[in-house]
């Protein structure tokens, strides 16, 4: 996806792919540095990336049920902006068709479940 973004920036702005890659890499590095400092990254009309803390906990090994320690960690969460949600919702028929086609490719015709209309 990053290469597609570089290609798009290069094409739309009439700059070289090297220059476009430098721009995309700079933006990604800025996002990463901002998140690493504990701050959120908000892109207007697109969404917000934020870091959340997950405390250590005890889980279960699914194969034998024994308890295992799950260490603390941080996770990056994304919350889509209302405009992005609305824009994607408008594309529902296209998205639904693409997902159905992808599902057909993942299963053989014999194993494929019927697609609801």
Instruction: Indicate if 31 and 46 belong to the same structural domain.
Output: no
Query: Chain-wide mean pLDDT for the chain?
Result: 89
Q: pLDDT by residue (tens digit) across 101-113?
A: 888 887 655 455 5
Entry pTM: 0.67
Measured distance CA(20)–CA(10) in Å, rounded: 5
Q: pLDDT at position 21, please?
A: 94
- Its domain, for residue 64, covers 40-80
Instruction: Indicate if 17 and 4 belong to the same structural domain.
Output: yes
Instruction: Indicate if 93 and 72 belong to the same structural domain.
Output: no
**Per-residue pLDDT at 36 exceeds 60:** yes
Instruction: Indicate if 116 and 95 belong to the same structural domain.
Output: yes
Instruction: Indicate if 76 and 88 belong to the same structural domain.
Output: no
Instruction: Indicate if 68 and 95 belong to the same structural domain.
Output: no
Q: How many structural domains is the chain composed of?
A: 3
Q: Which two tokens stand for residue 99?
A: 């997902």
Instruction: Indicate if 60 and 89 belong to the same structural domain.
Output: no
Q: Which pairing describes strands 47-54 and 57-60: parallel, antiparallel, or unpaired?
A: unpaired
**Per-residue pLDDT at 39 exceeds 90:** yes
Q: pLDDT by residue (tens digit) across 47-98?
A: 999 999 999 999 999 999 999 999 999 999 999 999 999 998 888 888 888 8
């Amino acid at each position: 996806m990053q290469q597609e973004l570089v290609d798009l920036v290069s094409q739309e702005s009439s700059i070289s792919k090297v220059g476009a890659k430098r721009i995309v890499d700079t933006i990604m590095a800025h996002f990463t540095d901002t998140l690493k400092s504990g701050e959120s990254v908000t892109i207007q009309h697109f969404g917000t990336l934020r870091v959340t803390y997950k405390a250590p906990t005890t889980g279960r090994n699914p194969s034998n049920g024994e308890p295992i320690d799950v260490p603390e960690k941080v996770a990056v969460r994304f919350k889509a902006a209302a405009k992005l949600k609305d824009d994607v919702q408008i594309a529902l028929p296209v998205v639904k068709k693409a997902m159905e086609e992808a599902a057909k490719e993942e299963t053989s015709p014999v194993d494929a479940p019927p697609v609801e209309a």
